[in-house]
Amino acid sequence: MALIVQKYGGSSVGNLERIANVARRVARTYDEGNKVVVVVSAMAGETDRLIDTAKAIRDTPNEREMDVLVSTGEQVSMALLAITLDSMGYRAKSYCGWQIPIVTTDAYCAARIEDVRREKIAADLDEGRIVIVAGFQGIDCHGNITTLGRGGSDTSAVAVAAALKADRCEIYTDVDGIYTTDPNITNKARKLKKVAFEEMLEMASVGAKVLYIRAVELGMTQGVPIMVLSSFSDTEGTLVTQEDENMEKELVTAVTCSTKEAKITLSGVPDRPGVASRIFVPLAEANIVVDMIIQNASADGIADISFTIPSADLSKALKILEDAKDFLEVKEITGANDIAKVSIIGAGMRSHAGVAAKMFTTLADERINIEMISTSEIKISCVIKKKYAELAVRALHENFDLDMKT
Ligand code: ADP
Ligand code: ASP
Ligand code: MG
């Protein structure tokens, strides 16, 4: 008997027919003699709908209440799955994050899981029940409902699997594994059999939303291998696990693209000690994750600073900076949403020269201008205009020999 945690994403529970499909898969796993814990996302589109509803009231809704609101999406799908399993003759019980409890930090909309109490789940499993847990949500130490950030149900699943010392953590989604690039961008993408945590971490950090970055981080630190599979077929998925000798160390393993970033430029910033800290401390306090930062050479003691943030945080960040404009002594603040970040990732990059040059040449050949560049040991990212994102991905995928051979 194995203990298996299965997570089903929004598209997998998008309507009653799909919930019935999930119920059949869960039942099959249970009938094979396993203990099963299911983590569910909200039905496809529901989280967006809830966010839009609140934003129709005001652009920057109160974050505590946003978490109360958006956490309802998962509560609906977990109950519908439990009702479906019950109608099929299985004993299932669903729990919201606060009922388990899944204890998190108090950072609304971006909380981090601190603890998953295993007692209730373990007791139900021992009594032969299928346990369903709402993904994406938890409770902070003051008793407030929190959520983990968009895509956070993956993290819930890995955290539950770690707490229960599960044998497997399976993430079911609308693609049948992790590909060399988003298979919705090019049909030449190839499915990978195994991906190292480190590579997946970089891929997730730059737009491969197939797995949420914190889920990968948790899997890596807690030693939980993660299998990504389709809920619509029975084909073999992709295993995300520790790097081993047998893994192909491709120069470039994957190309990713993120169109959910925005760029803020501060013009006329005084070039003296302490200025960068004044700008970035309030953004950090508001839990805004700043990614790439560039400062141009100063002329007459005045410089420009540009940086990228998640586009969902653009209005919030602009408001914080505008409010502090005089204190910061900044001349002008502008925000741009029409950017994308394309990246190439590969463990083999560590030991090869010329990878960046090849990336820049590929983009140049397509006449795509690079606005910002950042690198890590196994990743290179370029910010470009959003309208060129897919073209850039296809060109890089082809030039780094990732296209499926026909
Ligand atoms: P879920 O709702 O199940 O959590 P997501 O939409 O969050 O699903 O993630 C699945 C999507 O991730 C796929 O439909 C695909 O478009 C996208 N994706 C991006 N990069 C990749 C990649 N390298 N391999 C597979 N899917 C990817
Ligand atoms: N429902 C949440 C979202 O859409 C969490 C998730 O699906 O993982 O972001
Ligand atoms: Mg997801």
DSSP line for 106-123: S-TTS--EEEE--HHHHH
Number of domains in the chain: 2
Name all residues whose Cβ lies below 6 A of ligand 1. Answer: 9-12, 41, 151, 173-175, 178-179, 181-184, 208-210, 254
- CB–CB of 34/198 below 8 Å? no
Query: For helices 46-55 and 72-87, what crossing angle results, to 10°?
Result: 150
In a domain, 353, yes or no: yes
Domain that holds residue 113: 3-174
Please give the average per-residue pLDDT across 329-350, as a whole number.
94
Question: How many whole angstroms from 35 Cα to the centroid of ligand 3?
Answer: 24
Using the 3D structure, point to which of 152, 174, 196 is the last residue of a domain: 174
Q: What is the mean pLDDT of the chain?
A: 95
pLDDT in tens, 40-60: 999 999 999 999 999 999 988
Same domain, 118 and 250: no
List CB-based neighbours of ion ligand 3 within 5 Å. 9, 151
In a domain, 186, yes or no: no
Question: How many whole angstroms from 182 Cα to the centroid of ligand 1?
Answer: 7
Same domain, 254 and 401: yes
pLDDT reported for residue 9:
98
Which range among 24-38, 74-88, 161-175, 246-260 shows the weakest confidence by mean pLDDT? 246-260
- Which ligand is nearest the CA of 151, by number? 2
Gyration radius (Cα) of the chain, Å = 22
For 144-183, give one letter per residue: b (16+ CB within 10 A) or e.
bbbbbbbbbbbbbbbbbbbbbebebbbbbbbbbbbbbbbb
In the structure encoding, which two tokens stand for residue 40, read together?
A: 């569910």
Pocket test of ligand 1: the residue of 40, 41, 173, 235 to mutate, having most ligand atoms within 8 Å of its CB, is 173
Question: How many whole angstroms from 125 Cα to the centroid of ligand 2?
Answer: 26
Q: What is the CATH number of the domain that holds 101?
A: 3.40.1160.10
Distance CA 153, CA 101 (A): 15
Which range among 73-77, 83-87, 290-294 shows the weakest confidence by mean pLDDT? 290-294
In a domain, 193, yes or no: no
SS3 call for 207: coil
Which residue has 């990743």 as its token pair? 379
Same domain, 164 and 262: no
In a domain, 233, yes or no: no
- CB–CB of 43/208 below 8 Å? no
Percent of the chain past pLDDT 70, that is, above it, reads: 99
Please give the average per-residue pLDDT across 69-75, as a whole number.
98
Please count the other Cβ atoms lying within 10 Å of the Cβ belonging to residue 192.
Answer: 22
In a domain, 214, yes or no: no
pLDDT in tens, 342-382: 999 998 888 888 999 999 999 999 999 999 999 999 999 99
pLDDT band at 151 (very low <50, low <70, confident <90, very high): very high
Using the 3D structure, point to which of 174, 198, 231 is the last residue of a domain: 174
pLDDT reported for residue 251:
86
Please give the average per-residue pLDDT across 156-180, as a whole number.
97
Residue 331 has pLDDT above 90, yes or no: yes
Same domain, 122 and 11: yes
Residue 245 has pLDDT above 80, yes or no: no
pLDDT in tens, 21-45: 999 999 999 999 999 999 999 999 9
Residue 203 has pLDDT above 90, yes or no: yes
pLDDT reported for residue 246:
66
Residue 286 has pLDDT above 80, yes or no: yes
Using the 3D structure, point to which of 174, 193, 213 is the last residue of a domain: 174
Same domain, 280 and 370: yes
Distance CA 125, CA 116 (A): 16
pLDDT in tens, 304-323: 999 999 998 999 999 999 99
Please give the average per-residue pLDDT across 131-144, as a whole number.
98
In a domain, 221, yes or no: no
In a domain, 322, yes or no: yes
Question: How many whole angstroms from 275 Cα to the centroid of ligand 1?
Answer: 39
In a domain, 260, yes or no: yes
pLDDT reported for residue 4:
98
Residue 248 has pLDDT above 70, yes or no: no
Residue 174 has pLDDT above 80, yes or no: yes
Pocket test of ligand 2: the residue of 150, 156, 160 to mutate, having most ligand atoms within 8 Å of its CB, is 150
SS3 call for 268: strand
Residue 226 has pLDDT above 70, yes or no: yes
- Which ligand is nearest the CA of 210, by number? 1
Please give the average per-residue pLDDT across 227-240, as a whole number.
97
Question: How many whole angstroms from 201 Cα to the centroid of ligand 3?
Answer: 14
* Residue 299 DSSP code: B
**Residue located nearest, by CA, to atom 27 of ligand 1:** 182
Question: How many whole angstroms from 221 Cα to the centroid of ligand 2?
Answer: 23
